[in-house]
Amino acid sequence: MPDTDFKPISKVWPDVRTALEGLTFDGMTVMSGGFGLCGIPENLIAALRDSGVTGLTVISNNAGVDGFGLGQLLTTRQIKKMISSYVGENKEFERQFLAGELELEFNPQGTLAERIRAGGAGIPGFYTATGVGTVVAEGKDIKRFGDRDYVLETGLVADLSIVKAWKGDARGNLIFRKTARNFNPMMATAGKVCVAEVEEIVPVGSLDPDHIHTPGIYIDRIVQGTFEKRIEQRTVRQKETI
């Protein structure tokens, strides 16, 4: 017989502050989605800043910019270590790194993406040709397959993943919009807990199952945010004359 007492599961939280309650602790590892400033969970990053948590290891393709995104956590000195691919837009990051105040684990961008995907899939390590013969391979196992050398890279997991999506429902099913998809879906799978912020929360059943990028099984909490959506570098073309 069907369970007539079944109640739909809702993962919706009222705001980003409460959505992080009970999830943060000093020394934790956080994965933060986005590429540059595109698709970053800007509200949850600000809530992390306000929580006062310290000693963070942050896994993110970028480190935000001065005063925005992850740059806020650098300003408040809450980040101890970055595991990243590109950090060239943040002067405070540069200052702390050159002064020996911030640890950095650099990754080729494709390697970083695969390390996150592997972690989410339960794969502890994989071999890649990228980085062989460079500082990236120093101290790592090298094996030869066929006529090429490959370096062992480990999968990445985090205590908390924070991601940003376009639309989501109360069960945590997510749809990302265009390039804001970037690192977000794979990071959602690689966190022990994942909190998603979205531009719009829609009724359960209104999302076409074929269009869902991240199923709700990976999402523990979801919150609707408001977004500034800054442009990292604005480039314009001179007006053409005829």
Average pLDDT over residues 155-168: 98
Q: What is the pLDDT of residues 70-121, one digit of tens each?
A: 999 999 999 999 999 988 888 999 999 999 999 999 999 999 999 999 999 9
Closest CA to 113 of 84, 88, 151, 149: 84
Task: For residue 47, name the pLDDT band (cuts at 50, 70, 90).
Answer: very high
Give the DSSP letter of residue 209. G
pLDDT, residue 227, reads 86
Nearest 5 degrees, angle CA 109-CA 115-CA 120? 130
pLDDT, residue 211, reads 96
Average pLDDT over residues 198-213: 97
pLDDT, residue 2, reads 54
pLDDT, residue 95, reads 93
Enter the pTM of the model: 0.91
User: How is the chain split into domains, by residue range?
Assistant: 16-224
Burial class (CB in 10 A: 0-12, 13-18, 19+), 49: middle
Round to whole Å and give the CA distance between 83 and 57.
7
Round to whole Å and give the CA distance between 240 and 242.
7
Round to whole Å and give the CA distance between 94 and 169.
39
Q: What is the pLDDT of residues 23-41, one digit of tens each?
A: 999 999 999 999 989 999 9
Give the DSSP letter of residue 145. E
CATH superfamily of 16-224: Glutaconate Coenzyme A-transferase (3.40.1080.10)
